[in-house]
């Protein structure tokens, strides 16, 4: 088996002080960085929300399901990776959501336009671990799409942060039902 890590959206706007902050985001970035120092993956990727004009995804009156306050606007500090995340081990970054809502990293592409699924396949990856922000939104969507793409998939719960306990519980149920493994403890 050849395994990759997908780090989802550990960006300033999703951490404390950001426009749609998730509690614990800054500490999570540190924990992921620590994990990267001891883990052994064939490839490490990261996704970034990178909105240019995502249409109805942004709202002045968001419902926090389909619409959200403006966040991760392209070329702004909010769209940058959180400074606590060590990006040196990351092999490739996948940008998503330029002109529409995009929750899954599998909706993203490199700056050269290579889709995540294609990049993973060219690296011979058959297994992925997913972590990051937010467990009940983009981590969930990325893990589900990984299963649809027929990767053996595991969510590293100890390296993920979610929006709400109820949302996390619903997401974990959905992930398990789809055949995604949930690792409660951090493993390499």
Listed residue (102, 129, 4, 1) closest to 48, CA to CA: 102
For residue 71, what are its two tokens? Answer: 């966040």
CA distances from 116 to 91, 138, 159 (A): 12, 14, 21
Q: Given 9, 13, 49, 129, which residue is catalytic? A: 9
* Active site annotation includes 60: no
For residue 186, what are its two tokens? Answer: 């951090």
* Active site annotation includes 111: no
Q: Given 15, 72, 131, 138, which residue is catalytic? A: 138
Q: Given 15, 49, 72, 96, which residue is catalytic? A: 96
C-alpha–C-alpha distance, residues 127 and 113, integer Å: 22
* Active site annotation includes 15: no
For residue 151, what are its two tokens? Answer: 């990767």
C-alpha–C-alpha distance, residues 161 and 23, integer Å: 7
C-alpha–C-alpha distance, residues 81 and 122, integer Å: 25
Burial of 14 (0-12, 13-18, 19+ CB in 10 A): buried
**What residues act catalytically?**
9, 96, 138
């Amino acid at each position: 088996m050849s395994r990759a890590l997908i780090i989802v959206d550990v960006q300033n706007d999703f951490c404390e002080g950001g426009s749609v902050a998730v509690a614990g985001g800054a500490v999570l970035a540190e924990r992921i960085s620590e994990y990267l120092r001891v883990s052994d993956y064939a490839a490490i990727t990261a996704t970034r929300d990178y909105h240019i004009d995502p249409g109805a995804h942004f709202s002045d009156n968001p419902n926090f399901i389909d619409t959200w306050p403006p966040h991760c606007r392209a070329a702004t500090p909010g769209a940058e990776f959180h400074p606590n995340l060590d990006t040196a081990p990351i092999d490739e970054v996948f940008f998503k959501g330029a002109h529409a809502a995009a929750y899954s990293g599998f909706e993203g592409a490199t700056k050269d336009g290579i889709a995540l699924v294609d990049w993973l396949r060219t690296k011979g990856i058959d297994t992925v671990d997913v972590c990051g922000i937010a467990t009940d939104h983009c981590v969930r969507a990325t893990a589900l799409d990984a299963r649809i793409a027929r990767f053996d998939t595991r969510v590293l719960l100890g390296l993920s942060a979610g929006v709400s306990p109820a949302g996390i519980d619903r997401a974990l149920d959905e992930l398990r039902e789809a055949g995604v493994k949930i690792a409660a403890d951090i493993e390499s």
